[in-house]
Amino acid sequence: MSDASPLARELIFGDQHDRIQQRLAALDPDLAAYIRDFAYDTVYQRPGLDLKTKELLACALLTSLGAEKELKTHLRGALRAGASETEVREALLFMAPYLGFPRVVAAFSQLQDLLEKRKAASE
Amino acid sequence: MSDASPLARELIFGDQHDRIQQRLAALDPDLAAYIRDFAYDTVYQRPGLDLKTKELLACALLTSLGAEKELKTHLRGALRAGASETEVREALLFMAPYLGFPRVVAAFSQLQDLLEKRKAASE
Amino acid sequence: MSDASPLARELIFGDQHDRIQQRLAALDPDLAAYIRDFAYDTVYQRPGLDLKTKELLACALLTSLGAEKELKTHLRGALRAGASETEVREALLFMAPYLGFPRVVAAFSQLQDLLEKRKAASE
Amino acid sequence: MSDASPLARELIFGDQHDRIQQRLAALDPDLAAYIRDFAYDTVYQRPGLDLKTKELLACALLTSLGAEKELKTHLRGALRAGASETEVREALLFMAPYLGFPRVVAAFSQLQDLLEKRKAASE
Amino acid sequence: MSDASPLARELIFGDQHDRIQQRLAALDPDLAAYIRDFAYDTVYQRPGLDLKTKELLACALLTSLGAEKELKTHLRGALRAGASETEVREALLFMAPYLGFPRVVAAFSQLQDLLEKRKAASE
Amino acid sequence: MSDASPLARELIFGDQHDRIQQRLAALDPDLAAYIRDFAYDTVYQRPGLDLKTKELLACALLTSLGAEKELKTHLRGALRAGASETEVREALLFMAPYLGFPRVVAAFSQLQDLLEKRKAASE
């Protein structure tokens, strides 16, 4: 990987990058290495789709799985990758006909939580 | 909706639009009306995300659900909405760390099937 | 169980009862025994909900699981337990806001298949 | 819709109707409108199945999805729509052979929570 | 069942056996009876697979379902049935290519929680 | 990896190894490489659990996902890794209380199919 350009995981996690990596390593060092090396530094680094699209896809997959904690991480990632709040809302609304409302309501709860924390932090 | 611009469902289904609508109406007329009026003419018509992104999200959701037949319809939709074959492949590969390989292998089987039919039709 | 009243499994499977039991026994005799003794002769035999409601619930669960073959068996079961075709259609339409459209479309495909076979058999 | 008869959502949410509607609107106003207009005022208002059956089906679907918070809302809805506590328990027990025990245990936890709150409120 | 050898549920729950049984009975006495009689005293008591393998399979199924609370119970069960911490970690890591990382991260969170409680209890 | 000992993927796929690899490569070469390099040559090659246990876990995960085609591949893999037919049946029966019967019935259908093909091939 290039020295010059930041990695996808640096862009989407920002100042939480090291904290996230440490949390995963505390769970299991090999798990953390697989996520970093395979998920982020291999699959996420592929060219062909921009990072914003990738993060919106991640939000779709995590909403479908009902994986709420990871979803919040990637809702933040989508915003950091350049999606506007409106685009994130549109992506979540778009999921309703495919997944039904319960999964989408749960996803908007994570978004609300994230936006409130951001607002509190900026005040 | 505007008279001038084509509807999302016309763009993504193309010459299969009427056949798809009729197949749904044969299943149940009210079901077909809900899918057309709510899913397509309300949710899909929202501005804020381009149709290509919407179709890639649809492919992610249908891969996650393991809904193979509907997935093929929207893999075709993604291509018709302007995604290149490479972009569709990238979207599917991107799903592997989130969903695991079995769902992704099943999705690529649908893509293979679709591309083979397209090739046969163009010959 | 009473000698006088038919068992739930006899009511919902009708003339297919023995064929279904034999198909399960061919898969695995212990599996067949668990399904008969625990699922049907214990859980299904409980009083408190009528058989029609139970079969509509079964259809909801199997639609959610995407278990299409078993769904067809219990769509037939719902009809045999006294649900009208309209009631079965209403139950399936009701699921759309909870599960999204793909699962419901797949369920109506099973219903269509079942109704066509019934019609062919009655002609 | 008729002025005279209460809406399905008024019946099943009771004195929590406005609070639920406001919570959804705070998540996203368009999401709240879709749930009200499509899920409740269109799909739920259809004749053909009584509201008690609809709420038992909703409980089945939400148990299958593992959507625990929404499940509690509709366990309450089932009771408000006329299901007895015994009928709700029977519906949950009925799900075990279809979904396995873990989902059903989680559903009974929501029911226990709901019944304890009701009891505390009535004392 | 033999008087001499302990039951599978006694082995995997250990000194929490009665507490778990009481918690289930408080949810619903018939649910508790079905879990004890069918799940544990029938299916778990079958010979042919050792208890350690059974508990690792249970962990796989509960990770796949995203049933985190029950997963913790059976991560403890796997350790009590003779799996080493390393074997449990290997089983969880093995799931990543099948289920994707989000489910596996959630499973390791339950394991971390369990190991921390064990450590605190032993100090 | 050692020159001397066969790889996990060679052991579980046997004479179908190259055909499976080619089928995946025809779907997408990068997908095939990820499955080979990450899933098989990294995760499957880890010591700590024997291959038979790994394949039984794979069968559990694929049964839970409802991924029937991949399940058949790993039911064969479990047998090739040293599980007896009885052990495979026990693993499938064990899943019933966790997943419910529909998923388990579908899994036994795949096993029946596999055993019939084996029998036909050996005659």
Each residue's pLDDT tens digit, B43-92: 999 999 999 999 999 999 999 999 999 999 999 999 999 999 999 999 99
* E52 to chain F: closest CA residue: F53
Alpha helices in F2-100 (DSSP H): 8-13, 17-27, 29-34, 51-65, 68-80, 85-99
Contact yes or no for D96 and E66 at CB 8 A: no
The dihedral through the CA atoms of C104, C107, C111, C117 has a sign that is positive
Give how far C102 is from chain A: nearest CA, Å.
6
Provide the 3-class DSSP secondary structure of residue D100.
coil
The dihedral through the CA atoms of E94, E96, E99, E101 has a sign that is positive
How many whole angstroms separate alpha carbon D81 and alpha carbon D54? 9
- pLDDT computed for residue C55 by the predictor: 98
pLDDT tens digits, one per residue of F13-29? 999 999 999 999 999 99
Cβ atoms within 10 Å, residue F11: 17
Q: Is E94 on the interface with B (CB under 8 A)?
A: no
How many whole angstroms separate alpha carbon A58 and alpha carbon A80? 13
- pLDDT computed for residue C13 by the predictor: 96
- pLDDT computed for residue F4 by the predictor: 67
How many whole angstroms separate alpha carbon A98 and alpha carbon C103? 9
How many whole angstroms separate alpha carbon A107 and alpha carbon B5? 32
Q: Is D39 on the interface with A (CB under 8 A)?
A: yes
* D111 to chain E: closest CA residue: E27
Alpha helices in A1-40 (DSSP H): 8-13, 17-27, 29-34
Give how far C119 is from chain A: nearest CA, Å.
32
Label residue A122 exposed, middle or buried (CB < 10 Å: 0-12, 13-18, 19+): exposed
Cβ-Cβ contacts under 8 Å, F34 against chain B: 93, 96, 101
Stretch C19-46: mean pLDDT, rounded? 98
Q: Report percent pLDDT > 90 for chain D.
A: 93
- Assess whether pLDDT exceeds 70 at residue E1: no
Amino acid (one-letter) located at E40: Y
Q: What is the mean pLDDT of chain E?
A: 96
Which of these, A72, C97, C109, lies nearest to D65 by C-alpha position?
Answer: C97
User: Band of the pLDDT at F123, cuts 50, 70, 90?
Assistant: confident
Contact yes or no for B105 and F70 at CB 8 A: yes
Nearest Cβ partner of A98 from C97, C98, C102? C102
Q: What is the mean pLDDT of chain D?
A: 96
Q: Report percent pLDDT > 70 for chain D.
A: 97
Cβ-Cβ contacts under 8 Å, F66 against chain C: 65-67
How many whole angstroms separate alpha carbon C106 and alpha carbon B67? 8
Cβ-Cβ contacts under 8 Å, E93 against chain A: 28, 30-31, 34
pLDDT tens digits, one per residue of E104-115? 999 999 999 999
pLDDT tens digits, one per residue of A54-112? 999 999 999 999 999 999 999 999 999 999 999 999 999 999 999 999 999 999 999 99
Cβ-Cβ contacts under 8 Å, C43 against chain E: 34
pLDDT tens digits, one per residue of C76-121? 999 999 999 999 999 999 999 999 999 999 999 999 999 999 999 9
Mutate to test the interface with B, among F27, F41, F103 (most CBs of B within 10 A): F27
Q: What DSSP letter does each residue of B42-85 carry, written as one string?
A: IIIT-SSS-HHHHHHHHHHHHHHHT-HHHHHHHHHHHHHTT--H
Q: Is A100 on the interface with C (CB under 8 A)?
A: yes
Cβ-Cβ contacts under 8 Å, F103 against chain C: 65, 67
How many whole angstroms separate alpha carbon F33 and alpha carbon E17? 46
Could you tell me the end-to-end alpha-carbon distance of chain D, in angstroms, rounded to an integer? 37
Q: Is B98 on the interface with D (CB under 8 A)?
A: no
- pLDDT computed for residue E98 by the predictor: 98
Contact yes or no for C98 and A102 at CB 8 A: yes
Angle between the N-to-C axes of helices E101-122 and E51-65, in degrees from 0 to 180, rounded to the nearest 10? 120
Contact yes or no for B100 and E96 at CB 8 A: yes
Cβ atoms within 10 Å, residue E40: 19
Nearest Cβ partner of A28 from E102, E106, E108? E108
Sorted by sequence, the CB contacts under 8 Å of residue F87 that are 6+ apart come out as E48, E49, F52, F56, F78
Mutate to test the interface with A, among F42, F49, F64, F65 (most CBs of A within 10 A): F42
Could you tell me the end-to-end alpha-carbon distance of chain C, in angstroms, rounded to an integer? 37
Nearest Cβ partner of F94 from E43, E64, E97? E43
Nearest Cβ partner of D46 from C56, C93, C98? C93
- Assess whether pLDDT exceeds 70 at residue A1: no
- Among A3-12, C58-67, D34-43, the least confident range: A3-12
For residue E26 the two structure tokens come to 């408080």
Q: Is F24 on the interface with B (CB under 8 A)?
A: yes
Which of these, D38, B28, B92, lies nearest to C100 by C-alpha position?
Answer: D38
Q: What DSSP letter does each residue of B99-115 carry, written as one string?
A: H-HHHHHHHHHHHHHHH
pLDDT tens digits, one per residue of E19-55? 999 999 999 999 999 999 999 999 999 999 999 999 9
Please give the ipTM for the structure prediction: 0.95
pLDDT tens digits, one per residue of D49-73? 999 999 999 999 999 999 999 999 9
Give how far F38 is from chain A: nearest CA, Å.
8
- Assess whether pLDDT exceeds 80 at residue E8: yes
Could you tell me the end-to-end alpha-carbon distance of chain F, in angstroms, rounded to an integer? 37
Cβ-Cβ contacts under 8 Å, E89 against chain F: 48
Q: Is A98 on the interface with C (CB under 8 A)?
A: yes
* A59 to chain B: closest CA residue: B57
Q: Is A65 on the interface with B (CB under 8 A)?
A: yes
pLDDT tens digits, one per residue of F66-112? 999 999 999 999 999 999 999 999 999 999 999 999 999 999 999 99
How many whole angstroms separate alpha carbon E10 and alpha carbon E25? 17
How many whole angstroms separate alpha carbon E106 and alpha carbon A70? 9
Cβ-Cβ contacts under 8 Å, F42 against chain A: 34
Q: Is F20 on the interface with B (CB under 8 A)?
A: no
- Assess whether pLDDT exceeds 50 at residue E15: yes
Q: Which residue has the tokens 């989680």?
A: D106
- Say which CATH topology domain C50-123 has: AhpD-like (1.20.1290)
Alpha helices in D66-100 (DSSP H): 68-80, 85-94, 96-99
Q: Is C32 on the interface with F (CB under 8 A)?
A: no
- Assess whether pLDDT exceeds 70 at residue B4: no
Q: Where are the domains of chain A?
A: 7-46, 50-123
Please provide residue E7's backbone torsions phi and psi, each rounded to the nearest 5 degrees: -75, 155
* D20 membership: H or E segment, kind and range: helix D17-27
Give how far D103 is from chain F: nearest CA, Å.
9
